[in-house]
Chain A
Amino acid sequence: MSSIQQQNTFDWKKTLQIGLIGGAVGVLIAMVGMVEEFNKRDIIAGTLTMGWTILSLTMLVTGLFAARAAASNASSVVGSIVAGTIFGAVMSILVWIVDKYNIRDILVNASPTLVKHLTFEKGIPNGLFMLIGLGAAVGGLGGVIQILPENIRRAISLGLGIAALLGLLQEIIQVSLANFEGASKAVEWMFGKGTEKGLSLAGAILVFVVVAAGNYLWTGNASKISAGFEKLPQSSRKSFRWLGYGLLFLALIYLPVVLGLYLTEVVNVTGLFILMGLGLNIVVGFAGLLDLGYVAFYAVGAYTVGVLTNLSGELTLNLGWNFWLALPIGVALAVLAGVALGVPVLNMRGDYLAIVTLGFGEIIRILALSDFLKPHIGGSQGIVNIPPPGFLDVIIKTPQTLYYLIVAGCLLALFISSRLRDSRLGRSWKALREDEDVAQAMGINLVATKLLAFATGAAFSGLSGSILAIKLGTIYPHSFALLISINVLALIIVGGMGSIPGVFVGALLLAGMPELLREFAEYRLLIYGALLVVMMQVRPEGFWPEATHKRELHAENAEPQAEGGAA
């Protein structure tokens, strides 16, 4: 009886549950000190701090979930308001407790400052009512967004997201735009003057409106535009495409000049992760072999270049080779290591494979750290004095020069992996990922196919490691911790398993962003974990999924007519 009623009426239990979970997340954010720490930074100068942005975002998502659980539009909005109110109430209880009792012995961040922040400096109880009201309002907003049509919803969330991102990165953008005469007026208007941080209110609204409207118009007309493009004759389509590539190429060449030293360094770090991501994407994404020791090949590449080129005089080998000679050897040794790992794990699948590869990664790191190999590769002191290589007359040492090397590496890896994806080998990997036995029965050579996956993946990682060696000039065993493997795997998952553009998105989010937001490095892993959990719940296929994976997880949308063009 109750289940029938619940379909038409309001699901109190579910709403309450979502509100409480949201509130708990809010309490967690406050208690780990994120509100206080992040409030030092403004997203919109004088109006919205970063701490409040995160709290409101949590409220918004709570509202979204509550609305999603409801049956009709009206009950969606009511549900989201109720859930938001519960969120606010839970936070208020927290604030009240923190204010009344001193619990700082247990929870360091339960400070008077936090109370001040969370009550808008209006004191208790007025501030608490405001907090609850804010919860209801923002939660309700989430509900309204949820019931909007898909294209408007996407435009709004993109607009909010980009505005928040610009506010977050204000300092960096301002510094890099300062190089340009004439831009300063616009920058001043967008970001405010002098010591103010974050976007100006007008700037934020402008960004939101432009992005949201742009996205709305684009999604509305994208099919028309692409249809118009398809109608063009073959030759002019081709020239358009080449024009696009040309512009992209010019932008890539010109980028470090625009970005300046610091941002180029960030791009370089991201680039090294993209290289590794593209490699691991072949192993995990294409072939479905869960490799948790991927950092090993990175280490092999870096150490090979280090040993062959260094001039420290402390190691048994003091070859002082040219980097360009050492680089192919570094990649080749990484490939050998890939095959060496591949052979013993040929018959392993899933979790067993993960454990063995995990061990392999650790073995390489511990070998690098060991006294046994210390005379040759430096033990815990690592290898110092790796000279920067030259290319023609340029010495590749500054971030700007390294940038070109890394971009060249990424482009090569991008070319190879996109060609492989559509090749016969790529198809064998896919089949292997789905069912090993059947793949064999179709005529796919299991041994060769698996080893090729490991070897190709290792090659990209070895290349990345080789570049790392000259980028840092010194290498230590602790640069090759398990966390790197996890990072690379996480960026593939966030971007979308098996998706090549996904690697770029994932690397920007999980390698680039943390590099930009160093001041919040303390919370890096927490945000990481939260992001992964939310991803798996909301968008398990990743931000930029591969077509097949999307089909699997959203099978109900993958009706034949949707892909009729492929037939």
Chain B
Amino acid sequence: MSLLSIENIHTYYGNIHALKGISLHIEKGEIVTLIGGNGAGKTTTLRTISGLLTPREGTIRLNGEDLSKYKAHEVVYKGISMVPEGRGVFARLTVTENLEMGAYSRKDTAEINRNMERVFSLFPRLKERRTQVSGTLSGGEQQMLATGRALMANPSVLLMDEPSMGLAPVLVELIFDIIQQINKEGTTILLVEQNALMALGIASRGYVMQTGQIVLSDTAEKLKADPTVQKAYLGME
């Protein structure tokens, strides 16, 4: 049984049919990436999984349990945590306060403190700046903070929405290294990316989305070699 499996979900924004029957599954310990152009529905898929949007049809199962009966704030208790697009740090709160908000769903103080240490060891920069207001962090640091905050919930599945957005190439590499490290430490990751080459570089499998549908799915290696993917998303001729 897959850790997370999504079957045939249809999501609407009012009358706009944004997701037209998406199905995907993620096994425990994997990094799976969802690539595609602007408006393909990648973010909508993540928001549907995390409960911020409700699908009209289809099921989302985590460890076999149907998530559709849970509201957005309950999903995190089930073990799904999200790094939102554009990072969404609480700009007026300090780094530490942001991380504490990430652990809002948990009560065990000792566990939370241990988790915070883990985040600080993954991102030493955050430790240096832990009393700083997060709105004054650089883009890369904010991405680290958003990732660290999501890890504070101790999720079994981490949803990441465009972690490379607006970052300098060297920072993108750093973030992707850390994503791999988080994965090695046991967190399953669903990674939404426009930077398809980088994403396919660290993922084991990938799905290609186009106008609300999944048009291709395969191992990362094969997708990288696929001529249509190369042409459309990797910028190769």
Residues of chain A touching chain B, judged by Cβ–Cβ distance below 8 Å, are: 424, 427-428, 430-431, 434-435, 437-446, 548-549, 551-552, 555, 558-560, 563-564, 566-567
Contacts and interface: CB of A to CB of B under 8 A. Distances in A.
Given A551-B133, A567-B96, A442 B102 contact: yes
Contacts of B52: 437, 440-441
A540 to B, nearest CB: 14
Contacts of A566: 94, 96, 131
Of A434, A438, A563, the most chain B CB neighbours within 10 A belong to A438
A288 B96 CA distance: 21
A443 B91 contact: no
Interface in B69-108: 71-77, 81-82, 84, 88, 90-94, 96, 100-102, 104-105
A558 B102 CA distance: 23
B113 interface: no
A548 B73 contact: no
A555 B102 contact: no
B50 interface: yes
A441 B131 contact: no
Interface of B: 50-52, 71-77, 81-82, 84, 88, 90-94, 96, 100-102, 104-105, 128-133, 135-136, 149, 153
Nearest to A430: B93
Contacts of A443: 73-74, 76-77, 104-105, 153
Given A437-B84, A563-B131, A444 B92 contact: no
B88 to A, nearest CB: 4
B112 to A, nearest CB: 13
Nearest to B88: A438
A435 B90 contact: yes
Contact of B73 (A440, A560, A567): A440
A532 to B, nearest CB: 22
A444 B94 CA distance: 19
B133 A427 contact: no
Contacts of A434: 90-93
A430 B90 contact: yes
Contacts of A424: 104
Nearest to B77: A443
B129 A446 contact: no
Contacts, number: 91
A567 B130 contact: yes
Given A430-B90, A446-B72, A552-B133, 18 more contacts: A424-B104, A431-B93, A434-B91, A435-B88, A440-B51, A440-B72, A441-B73, A442-B149, A443-B76, A443-B77, A443-B104, A548-B133, A551-B94, A551-B133, A555-B136, A558-B133, A558-B136, A559-B132
A217 B25 CA distance: 69
Nearest to A434: B90
29 contacts: A430-B90, A430-B92, A431-B90, A434-B91, A434-B92, A435-B88, A437-B52, A437-B84, A437-B88, A438-B90, A440-B72, A441-B50, A441-B52, A441-B72, A441-B81, A442-B73, A442-B101, A442-B102, A443-B73, A443-B104, A443-B153, A446-B72, A551-B92, A552-B91, A552-B92, A555-B133, A560-B132, A563-B94, A563-B131
Nearest to A556: B136
B135 A555 contact: yes
B184 to A, nearest CB: 24
A124 to B, nearest CB: 55
A439 B100 CA distance: 12
Please name the 3 residue pairs, one residue from A and one from B, whose CB atoms are nearest each other, closest first.
A443-B105, A434-B90, A438-B88
Chain A interface mostly helix, strand, loop or mixed?
Answer: helix
Contacts of B96: 566-567
Contacts of A444: 73, 104
Nearest to A566: B131
A497 to B, nearest CB: 11
A424 to B, nearest CB: 8
Most chain B CB neighbours (cut-off 10 Å) among A434, A438, A441, A558:
A441
B104 A428 contact: yes
Contacts of A441: 50, 52, 72-73, 75-76, 81-82, 84
A427 B101 contact: yes
A566 B96 CA distance: 10
Nearest to B82: A441
A427 B94 CA distance: 13
Contacts of B81: 441
Contacts of B82: 441
Contacts of A431: 90, 93, 101, 104
A445 B105 CA distance: 11
A444 B51 CA distance: 12
Contacts of B75: 441
A438 B84 CA distance: 7
Nearest to A432: B90
A441 B130 CA distance: 22
A551 B77 CA distance: 32
B129 to A, nearest CB: 6
A567 B52 CA distance: 33
Given A441-B76, A442-B105, A558 B132 contact: yes
Contacts of B77: 443
A149 B227 CA distance: 69
Contacts of A439: 101
Contacts of B101: 427, 431, 439, 442
Nearest to B84: A438
Nearest to B71: A445
Most chain B beta-carbon neighbours within 10 Å: one of A424, A440, A443, A566: A443
Nearest to A441: B82
B212 to A, nearest CB: 21
Contacts of B149: 442
A430 B100 CA distance: 12
Nearest to B130: A567
Contacts of B74: 443
Contacts of B102: 442
Contact of A548 (B76, B92, B105, B153): B92
Contacts of B50: 441
A424 B50 CA distance: 22
A427 B129 contact: no
B131 A442 contact: no
A438 to B, nearest CB: 4
Contact of A442 (B51, B129, B135, B153): B153
B50 to A, nearest CB: 6
